[in-house]
């Protein structure tokens, strides 16, 4: 897997974000997947054999706190722990950008994503932001530490 740092409006990234939005909207039966990636977001694009495989972004949420946004692995690339590698990579990038914690929103209809986050050490927190009162939303946080070694 190769990881590329790309701008929030990179066409290859946007194609994956649109696929992620379609999947989320279908799972929840909604017409809007919520806020996406903006100019202040740091975005990673994962490729495998010149195929766009997945993406993730981190956006500033509060001083020293970032929010993981639009984590997605294309269906044809699932089952190879790519999500875990994307999450680890965005955590490293967040540390480089001065974040000491990451938060994220997921949902009750995304058990695969929830499992990835929990395995990576994210802990449930009270929900916040646009989905604070949405019973289908789950929120998580992880305090980041510098890599050992």
CA dist 76 and 82 (Å) reads: 11
The verdict on residue 149 lying in a domain is: no
Query: 19: domain range?
Result: 2-143
Q: Using an 8 Å Cβ cutoff, are 109 and 136 in contact?
A: yes
The verdict on residue 22 lying in a domain is: yes
Question: Which CATH number do you get for residue 46?
Answer: 3.40.630.30
Confidence (pLDDT) at 148: 57
The verdict on residue 148 lying in a domain is: no
| Whether the model pTM is above 0.75 | yes
Confidence category of residue 149, pLDDT binned at 50, 70, 90: low
What is the end-to-end Cα distance of the chain in Å, rounded? Answer: 23
- Work out the number of other CB atoms within 10 angstroms of the CB of residue 143: 11
Mean pLDDT of 19-30: 91
* H/E run at residue 42: strand 42-48
The verdict on residue 117 lying in a domain is: yes
Total structural domains within the chain:
1
């Amino acid at each position: 897997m190769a990881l590329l740092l790309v701008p929030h409006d990179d066409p290859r990234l946007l194609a994956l974000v649109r696929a992620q939005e379609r999947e989320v909207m279908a799972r929840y039966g909604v017409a809007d997947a919520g806020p996406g990636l903006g100019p202040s977001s740091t975005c990673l694009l994962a490729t495998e054999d010149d195929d766009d495989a997945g993406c993730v972004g981190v956006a500033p949420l509060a001083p020293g706190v970032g929010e993981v946004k639009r984590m997605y692995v294309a269906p044809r690339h699932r089952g190879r722990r790519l999500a875990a590698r994307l999450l680890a990579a965005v955590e490293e990038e967040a540390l480089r950008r001065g974040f000491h914690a990451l938060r994220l929103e997921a949902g009750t209809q995304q058990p695969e994503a929830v499992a990835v986050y929990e395995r990576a050490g994210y802990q449930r927190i009270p929900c916040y932001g646009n989905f604070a009162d949405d019973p289908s939303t789950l929120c998580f946080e992880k305090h980041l530490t510098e890599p050992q070694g």
